[in-house]
Amino acid sequence: MLPQALALVNQGRCELRFRPRLDPALLLNATVDTSTVAVMVWFERLKELRRVTGVSCRELDRLAGTTRGYCWALERGSKHDVGVHILAKYCAALGCTLDWLIHGKGPRPTDETILAALKKAAAMTPVHHAS
């Protein structure tokens, strides 16, 4: 499986990220699970959709109904145990499917689709007024 992972890296579809105490030399004899490769790329897809529309992580968290700072932590890799229900909230706000976000399967949503989903999410999100 390691050659498959390296092929994805070479195609620019994902990048290898190492945890601080992981010795890269250990990967020479490692077996890479394809689900691990998917985890290395899904947050890049989230960032891509967010940046295409100019939406900040804070605003995406508000529109998706997630905790403030969650998107930021996901994009930086500091959140490792993400539930599918959280990813589904981001997908709804960004107009993409879970299959595309997690696995990259199917077409990328168009900019128009993303903007329409963000507009719909904004209409459904309560506005908090400062008192």
Q: What is the pLDDT of residue 109?
A: 92
pLDDT of residue 95: 94
Query: What pLDDT, on the 0 to 100 scale, is given for residue 18?
Result: 38
Q: Please report how many Cα atoms fall inside a 13 Å half-sphere around the Cα of residue 54, on the Cβ side.
A: 0
Q: Which domains are assigned to the chain?
A: 2-124 (1.10.260.40)
> Taking the CB of residue 14, how many other CB atoms lie within 10 A of it?
19
Q: How far is CA 1 from CA 12, 22, 33, 113, in A?
A: 17, 18, 7, 35
**Number of residues assigned to the chain:** 131
Query: What does the pLDDT read at residue 77?
Result: 77
pLDDT tens, N- to C-terminus, the chain (131 residues):
445 655 655 566 555 443 333 444 444 444 444 444 444 478 888 998 988 889 999 999 999 999 999 999 988 878 777 888 899 999 999 999 998 988 888 888 998 999 999 999 999 877 654 44
pLDDT at 7: 62
pLDDT for the residue 14: 55
3-state secondary structure the chain: CHHHHHHHHHCCCCCCCCCCCCCHHHHHHCCCCHHHHHHHHHHHHHHHHHHHHCCCHHHHHHHHCCCCCHHHHHHCCCCCCCCHHHHHHHHHHHCCCHHHHHHCCCCCCCHHHHHHHHHHHHHHCCCCCCC
Q: What is the pLDDT of residue 119?
A: 92
